[in-house]
Amino acid sequence: RRRTTIKHNPITMKCVLPLLVTSAVAFSPAPRSFVGVQQRSSSLSMLPTKQQTDSFYPFDKESSSKLSAVPPKSNEEVADGSADVRQLLGVKGASGTTDIWKIRLQLTKPVTWIPLVWGVMCGAAASGNYHWIWNPFDPNDRNVMLGLEDMAKGFVAMILAGPFLTGYTQTINDWYDRDIDAINEPYRPIPSGAISEGQVIFQIWFLLLGGLGIAYGLDVWAGHDFPTVLALSIFGSWVSYIYSAPPLKLKQNGWAGNYALGCSYISLPWWCGQAVFGELDRPVYFVL
């Protein structure tokens, strides 16, 4: 027989030998090295433990980042010298007082009278029948007595829309918000006890009935066959009541609350001023 000789290529051997050595080491039954265990345990130690998780989420127990709602204990008076004026206007930063009449005025929030008084003036001008005391632009509109009478009518209409019916609205709103104010604004007159509940209820009825009486007087003064101003006042008072009082409490509803505010602060005073000096259009009667 012929003997076959295998030639060994040195290049092939150089490539194969490293592969054989690597395979032998990988599949050998040698015990695991201690270094590998150490590395694996150090990797696991990077995971957060239960104690670390508690301190991370949501905040550390001793962290000062916690938010806490602390209601104000007293009203902070402004330091610009306007605290007494703010008290009379019924706005924040007011000074404290024990004068019952100042407290009653504060409940009516005089700062909110402005848009209604302005609405009455706009309605009077829109009627086309308001006369000046002495009109520098129209020589035919210089009847002093007629101008004084119209000025008096307009002033009474402003008193009706501002101090009486707006005062009624603001007082009844504070009355039905007294539980909320006891948390958010405990320095307000009602939750602070500066005015008793009986005095608040008396003020509500006084402003309401007084306003309706003035409204009827304006109807008589203007010679209305139908008491238009009284009807407007009754409607506005009813809207004010359901805006603040349960179960309707329109202020909790975005659309209904906005309608009530727009009706009370824009439409009704305008219609009142126009009705005192002129006539209202039919769409207004459809609303009523």
Q: What confidence tens digit (pLDDT) does each residue in 167-186 have?
A: 999 999 999 999 999 998 88
Decide: helix, strand or coil at residue 177.
coil
The whole-number average pLDDT for the span 209-221 is: 98
For the residues 43-67, what does the mean pLDDT come to? Answer: 45
Q: How does pLDDT run across 67-78, given as a tens digit for each residue?
A: 444 444 555 666
What local confidence, expressed as pLDDT, does residue 95 receive?
67
Give the range among 6-10, 56-60, 83-87, 137-141 with minimum mean pLDDT: 56-60
Q: Is 216 exposed, middle or buried (0-12, 13-18, 19+ CB in 10 A)?
A: middle
Q: Which two tokens stand for residue 109?
A: 């929030």
Residue identified by tokens 């007293």 is 74
Q: What is the pLDDT of residue 77?
A: 63
Enter the tokens of residue 189: 């007159």
What is the rounded CA–CA span in Å between residue 86 and residue 106? Answer: 9
CA 182 to chain centre: 17
What mean pLDDT do residues 50-62 have?
43
Is residue 280 a contact partner of residue 247, using CB atoms and an 8 Å limit?
Answer: no
Q: Nearest to residue 130, comparing CAs of 222, 239, 220?
A: 222
Query: CA–CA separation, 195 vs 147, rounded Å?
Result: 42
Average pLDDT over residues 11-29: 51
Give 194-208 pLDDT, tens digit per residue: 999 999 999 999 999
In this prediction, residue 92 carries a pLDDT of 72
Give the integer Cα–Cα distance in Å for 273 and 275: 6
